[in-house]
Amino acid sequence: MKYLTTALALSFLYLFTDTSSHFSSGGFDMKDFNKDRVKTVVVSHRGTGDFRTIQAAIDSIPSNNNNWIKIYLKHGTYNEKIVIEKQMIVMQGNDASKVTIQYNDAGLANSSGPFRLNAEYFVAINITFKNTYNNIKQTVPYKDIKVAPSAILMADKASFYGCRFISVQDTLADLLGRHYFHKCYIEGAVDFIWGRGQSIYQNCVINVKGVTSKKMVNNREMLAGFITAQGRESEQDTSGFVFNKCVIKGTGKAFLGRAYRGYSRVVFYGTHMSNVVVPQGWDAWHYKGQDDKFTFVEVNSTGKGANKKGRVRWEKNLSAKEVDFLLNPQTFVDNDGWMATLPSALVSLYYNHLQSLSFRI
């Protein structure tokens, strides 16, 4: 394949022959990432770094920045509402379970929460993004929760490694641009991965919380939310969510997705689905009668929730070539090669992933 030579050439830098061995509940092993020669500023809310707040560190970066700058976050909980308007930032923690950016804020889907990205070329590694507004420990009525995103992505060319996104409704606002998520954890109940983003979710864990939506499935009421609400708006719209070798688990029930716009596109490939996934699988929402325009796809998935008995009749069956195009980062999210401009350890990890694809359909 055309990218194989490049992959082999880069692999000597920081070879990850088994990326799973570098990931735990805390995130990625950072020993290789720390070797990248980029300027680093340190944030510690205890005063042992260059800045006490993340926003102060971001504000210190020149507006016309054209060199990668690493913002290293020491362990701690940062109660901040962060907005990034500057490009070429790597924001890094060493353990996602010990580095949390959180805020208690709800009501506005495109501005509430602890984190908003408005600039290109951004990387986050081993960080938890959490909206603490809906602190739900067990199943509650839908009417008792509010829109409360943990992260809002409004920019192109962003990637996340070993990060966690935690809330209940609209957890990850994947609104605009091309994004790549590797070994991330996403928790929520209602529309908790949503927007018009063009994104690949690789080896991620999706945790479904229990919230009632009073949705009728097979003529009976189900306590079910929605994992995705993708907003593709036309055949020419390149957006969509692709989940490759992920895991769906949890304590609630959920549809794989609903049509947030008339050409919604979501693909699950090789994903292990527990019985939290309702039999119907997908919902047309306000676009009933237009289901031929959706691209809702499941390929080679496993687990009780992957049983297609009871699925909606209009779930799509794509050709192997069409699935390959969506699974391959180089054709779906990286057609201009932006991911090769990331810090070297991430480039190595990315190309190692490409090698592992091997187009197996």
Domain ranges of the chain: 4-357
Residue 89 confidence (pLDDT): 96
Q: Give residues with Cβ within 8 angstroms of 110, minimum separation 6.
A: 152, 154, 173, 175
Catalytic residues: 170, 191
Q: Which residues contact 306 (CB under 8 A, 6 or more apart)?
A: 271, 272, 273, 277, 298
* pLDDT at site 354: 78
Each residue's pLDDT tens digit, 179-189: 999 999 999 99
CA distance 129 to 188: 12
H helix or E strand, kind and range, residue 322? helix 320-327
Q: Which CATH superfamily is domain 4-357 in?
A: Single-stranded right-handed beta-helix, Pectin lyase-like (2.160.20.10)
User: In this predicted structure, what is the pLDDT of residue 214?
Assistant: 57
- Would you say 119 and 87 are in contact if contact means Cβ atoms under 8 Å apart? yes
Instruction: Identify the pLDDT of residue 343.
Output: 84
- pLDDT at residue 218 above 80? no
